[in-house]
Structure 1
Amino acid sequence: MSDVTAAGPDALHEKAWFGQPRGLTILFLTQMWEIFSYYGMRTLLVYYMTKQLLFAQEKSSLIYGTYTAMAYFTPILGGVIADRWLGKRRAVVIGASVMAVGHFMMAFEPLFFVALATIALGNGLFLPSLPSQINDLYRPGDARRGRAYNVYYVGINVGGFLAPLVCGTLGELYGWHYGFGAAGVGMFIGLLIYLVGQRYLPAEPAKKNPAASIGETSGHRTSRVWLLLLGVGIAVTIFRGAYEQIGNTLPLWTDVGVDRVVGTFSIPMTWFLSLNPLLVIAMTPLLLAHWRRRADTGRDLPPARKMAMGALIVAAAYLLLAGVAALSGSGGASWLWLVAFFVVLTFGELYILPTGLGLFARLAPPRLGATTVASWFLAVFSGSLLAGIVGTLWSRIDPPAFFSLLAVLAVLAAVGLRLLERPLTAAAAASDITQGER
């Protein structure tokens, strides 16, 4: 064989984009198109239910929250299946294929609920198996590994930026089915990129007896790690109960509470949803350079502290929105305030979400990489479910009070993460030593 994987571990550490291994670019592009398809469909989902299917707002919010929750619950089973039987690569291919079918099914109104279930099932195999391959690209202790998840997060947000502009515009202006169909095309492109680029990805270890793998990961340290990850998961659940409103209730406020007129042109609501990923793309290189300078001088922040800071910044973003909603007149708030909100929120997001994903991958017990990463998405599941429940309050309280409630949730998450900082830092250091010995 002449591919990079067969050439040995050193070949995987060739520098490419942002000084990272080539395999990261393949994972980056695959995830980018998967996110394009997921967010392209999600951008239209609440609009489609309320305007085409004529569901009530409360029902639409619960369906939205339940769907996004299930899309992040199925990875728990998918991660176990990938680690024990399929392997990460095969799980990605099967999961991506199933999701592509589900997205195309969304173009047919009678298949609405079946399509949602199909996408969620495919996502179960795909979602934990792709990012869990990032950790395998690096040697233990490689300083680039932590920043790699921020680079990967840029890929997620490139897809998230394009999705509302393409799928949202097609669905909103030309017909829902065109938007859903474009999401299916995006998923298919991501699958092709992964198939072509597999030679740049790390070889998978031979499968062992599942019982033997369990034995390898037993003991006091592993139990302590799982308890710490549970604590982080609870904090992230609370955080996402607030954060996920940007795709749930925030579009409803943008539609009726924001003055979107510029001259004679009214900015489509879905365009504002592209601001968040666009800002991620713009801010990430600057933030990575800042973190790299801090790391070079020995002042790098522990992951838990970064995450707590991010949650507090997001709380500030929602307080800003609460003030704007309270002070805006009958004509609605200027769209510039909405832009300012997304700038602050995105800055906080970059501190907490990619850092959390990287922390879970770093603390993964041996041979349970996909399962541990899947447990990160379990927090996304519970947070999405909480967001759906919180979203039902939108019709019962006024916007300033609702946005203030979201700020309180983000502050509670920050407090929980700060309390976990010391044990998490110790666990991460111990994990690096263990990986270096294997």
Structure 2
Amino acid sequence: MTNQSALTNEMALAKEADGEGASGAGTSGTSTTSSTGGGEGQKGHPRGLYTLFGAEAWERFSYYGMRALLVLYLTQKIKLDREHALEIYGLYTGLVYLTPLLGGYLADKILGRRKAVLIGGIVMAIGQLALMSESLLFLALGLLIAGNGFFKPNISTMVGGLYREGDTRRDGAFTIFYMGINLGALWSPIICGTLGEKVAFAAGFGSAALGMTLGLAQFAMGQKHLGDTGLPPGRETKKEIVGEPPYRSSVVSAKAILLGSRDYIDVVIWTAGTCALVWGVLFAWNFVGPAWGAAPGFVKGLLGLAAIGAVFFQLFRGSNAQEAQQILVIIILCAFNIFFWMGFEQAGGTMTLFAAEQTERNIGGIGMILIAAFVFACAYNFRRSTKSEASGQALWLSLTAMFALLGLAALGMGGYGLATGQATNIPASQFQAINPLIIVALAPTFSNLWDKLDSGKYRTSTPTKMAIGMIILGFGFLILFFGQKIGTANGAKASAAWLGAVYIIHTIGELCLSPIGLSMVTKLAPPRVSSLAMGLWLFSSAVANYLAGTLESMLTKVQVPIYGFLVVSSIGPAILLLALTPLLKKWMHGKA
């Protein structure tokens, strides 16, 4: 699951975690520090927001840089066969969605969010470094999965913790934070991907580790701007509420809002314990794995059904008729969620291999000039969509300038190509930069579009948005299916335009679907089972990611082309979902 949808999930998690998140903005003095770094009646954002923005941007740089290279590393460096490499990719990206459940729980009950973020970041940096050694592959992936569990759910909830309930700056804060996600996701395939493919895979993973380290450093040095947000349970500072709502000002001791030496000892202990636990699980799997692999399929199926049945029992237990209907909507949409992300997550798997093996990636001067024009158009649309934003203008202008520089770089390469007749070789991993580029360029436009539609007579329900996204996804795979057939005829390679168009179309589909997710779950799930319902939604995303990695292998056995299958598996369920929408809207009782 990529950036726009990830932000929607994080916003929902932040709202769920607002027992901590009502600290609000505060004032700052010479010998005191505010609880959040803002000020009474302050129109701007607390400085702590930009601490979290930078840390998240570097973490996403690290994650997406590694993700862009993983399948290429497995097939080209370690020489795994395609089927095995994609299975590892699917298992990794699937488990990344499950560990945050445990990491969030540990932060809530024991660690506090700041220590959890530090633990997760350190473990992930170690994992990125371990990827530089082929013999440590599975240990490295295990460390990245475990570290993500500590980091991901906790840094996003701290954004909500900078503002009290009802603070009008809060939505704008998440927009800024979301740009940090996409900033890291945009540059990581360009930098890590280029180093990994053009220099050495170790250099690519090393740059990802460096990015994670820089994010940790920024977070640790900037914690003084976070107020008391994210401190361990029971250590919240006493607040004095002054001024008029929605802003909250509070003066607290500067020492009270910083982690102490004991906290850093805890970070070291938990980091070492996490690394040891990952190693222990891998060691135990040497004995458990063969037994599990030898178990009959129906036994595995029965265990899975029993587990799902237990979850359903807990969800429905004690529910009245309306709650039961809302829970049923969540379950149904979880099933459709699998179909969307099973297709979308081909981006880091089969589509990356398609770019590496079947795409003509030597782009001539005219092609690079067209790419430059496209990037300039994205920069223009981004600026046009954000110029009226009430806050963050310095950031919006900086991002516009950054995209303009990307366009100038492409324009320069295009001019050089025309002058010399030489083509520019685009690394396969860099195609994954198209998604965050389009998201940043079009997300404000789509946000305004949905706002206008939802405030008028064309209000679009959650199931309808989901179905639209799935249809657009299927259309993208239809183009890729024919592009593969036409472009690779007679042993030739497909034009890069085919794959580029598919990434753009899929991103538009994601932008249609992005308003749903955990935000929908928080609206429909009864409070007593909201965490369990969130876990079910994340589980559906994990299943989708695993299927994304194993689907090609399963289809090859029955000689079904994967992209043709994904056309049907995207559009077919979307039509069914549209047919079910009137019933689902009735069962949602106007809540989503």
Question: TM-score normalised by the shorter chain: which range applies?
Answer: 0.7 to 0.9
Contact 1:75 1:378 in 2 (8 A): no
Output the CA distance in 1 between the equivalents of 2:84 and 2:444. 40
Which of 474, 478, 483 aligns to 1:324? It is: 483
Aligned residue in 2 for 1:175:
200
2:33 equivalent to 1:5: no
Output the CA distance in 2 between the equivalents of 1:170 and 1:94. 27
Q: 5+ unaligned residues in a row in structure 1: which ranges?
A: 209-213, 430-438
Aligned residue in 2 for 1:45:
70
Q: 5+ unaligned residues in a row in structure 2: which ranges?
A: 1-31, 235-313, 365-422
Which of 382, 385, 391 aligns to 2:552? It is: 391
Matched ranges for 1:105-116 at <5 A: 105-116=130-141
Indicate the structure with greater helix content. Answer: 1
Which of 469, 474, 487 aligns to 1:315? It is: 474
Contact 2:125 2:210 in 1 (8 A): yes
Which of 571, 579, 585 aligns to 1:411? It is: 571
Output the CA distance in 2 between the equivalents of 1:24 and 1:367. 31
Aligned residue in 2 for 1:260:
361
1:34 and 1:424, CA in 2 relative to 1: closer, same or farther beyond 3 A? Answer: farther
Output the CA distance in 1 between the equivalents of 2:107 and 2:535. 10
2:174 equivalent to 1:126: no
1:254 and 1:160, CA in 2 relative to 1: closer, same or farther beyond 3 A? Answer: same
2:240 equivalent to 1:240: no
One-letter amino acid of the counterpart of residue 411, structure 1? I
| Deviation, structure 1 residue 92 | 2.3
Contact 2:129 2:205 in 1 (8 A): yes
Aligned residue in 1 for 2:267:
none
1:397 and 1:285, CA in 2 relative to 1: closer, same or farther beyond 3 A? Answer: farther
Instruction: Work out the percentage of aligned pairs sharing the same amino acid.
Output: 33
Output the CA distance in 2 between the equivalents of 1:145 and 1:424. 30
Contact 2:36 2:48 in 1 (8 A): no
One-letter amino acid of the counterpart of residue 542, structure 2? F
Contact 2:114 2:231 in 1 (8 A): no
| Deviation, structure 1 residue 346 | 0.6
1:77 is paired with a residue whose SS is helix
Contact 2:162 2:229 in 1 (8 A): no
1:388 is paired with a residue whose SS is helix
Contact 1:135 1:361 in 2 (8 A): no
Aligned residue in 2 for 1:104:
129
Output the CA distance in 1 between the equivalents of 2:115 and 2:362. 48
Matched ranges for 1:257-406 at <5 A: 257-263=358-364, 264-295=423-454, 297=456, 299-328=458-487, 329-330=489-490, 331-353=492-514, 355-361=516-522, 375-393=536-554, 401-406=561-566
One-letter amino acid of the counterpart of residue 327, structure 1? I
1:369 and 1:30, CA in 2 relative to 1: closer, same or farther beyond 3 A? Answer: farther
> In the TM superposition, what whole-angstrom CA distance separates every residue of 1:244-290 from its partner, at most 9, and x where no partner exists?
11110112222232222223333221121211111111111222232
Output the CA distance in 2 between the equivalents of 1:259 and 1:121. 37
1:382 is paired with a residue whose SS is helix
Output the CA distance in 1 between the equivalents of 2:470 and 2:106. 33
CA RMSD of aligned residues (A): 3.7
1:243 is paired with a residue whose SS is helix
| Deviation, structure 1 residue 314 | 1.1
One-letter amino acid of the counterpart of residue 404, structure 1? G
User: Higher Cα Rg: structure 1 or 2?
Assistant: 2
Contact 1:79 1:371 in 2 (8 A): no
2:78 is paired with a residue whose SS is coil
| Deviation, structure 1 residue 180 | 0.6
1:351 and 1:136, CA in 2 relative to 1: closer, same or farther beyond 3 A? Answer: farther
Greater CA drift, 98-107 or 175-184: 98-107
How many residue pairs get aligned? The number is 415
| Deviation, structure 1 residue 390 | 0.5
1:87 and 1:117, CA in 2 relative to 1: closer, same or farther beyond 3 A? Answer: same
Aligned residue in 1 for 2:585:
422
Output the CA distance in 1 between the equivalents of 2:159 and 2:357. 42
1:299 and 1:252, CA in 2 relative to 1: closer, same or farther beyond 3 A? Answer: same
> In the TM superposition, what whole-angstrom CA distance separates every residue of 1:118-169 from its partner, at most 9, and x where no partner exists?
1111111222223344555677788987787666544323222111111111
Aligned residue in 1 for 2:330:
229
| Deviation, structure 1 residue 305 | 2.6
One-letter amino acid of the counterpart of residue 274, structure 1? A
Greater CA drift, 150-159 or 47-56: 150-159
1:384 and 1:146, CA in 2 relative to 1: closer, same or farther beyond 3 A? Answer: farther
| Deviation, structure 1 residue 85 | 3.1
Output the CA distance in 2 between the equivalents of 1:27 and 1:253. 36
Contact 1:146 1:355 in 2 (8 A): no
Contact 2:110 2:232 in 1 (8 A): no
1:291 and 1:246, CA in 2 relative to 1: closer, same or farther beyond 3 A? Answer: same
One-letter amino acid of the counterpart of residue 356, structure 1? G
Query: Relative contact order: is structure 1 or structure 2 higher (C-alpha 8 Å, sep ≥ 6)?
Result: 1
Output the CA distance in 2 between the equivalents of 1:46 and 1:178. 16
1:78 and 1:109, CA in 2 relative to 1: closer, same or farther beyond 3 A? Answer: same
| Deviation, structure 1 residue 347 | 0.6
Aligned residue in 1 for 2:215:
190
| Deviation, structure 1 residue 299 | 5.0
1:309 and 1:140, CA in 2 relative to 1: closer, same or farther beyond 3 A? Answer: farther
1:72 is paired with a residue whose SS is coil
Output the CA distance in 2 between the equivalents of 1:202 and 1:296. 37
TM-score, normalised by the number of residues in structure 1: 0.81
1:416 and 1:37, CA in 2 relative to 1: closer, same or farther beyond 3 A? Answer: farther
1:153 and 1:87, CA in 2 relative to 1: closer, same or farther beyond 3 A? Answer: same
Greater CA drift, 291-300 or 374-383: 291-300
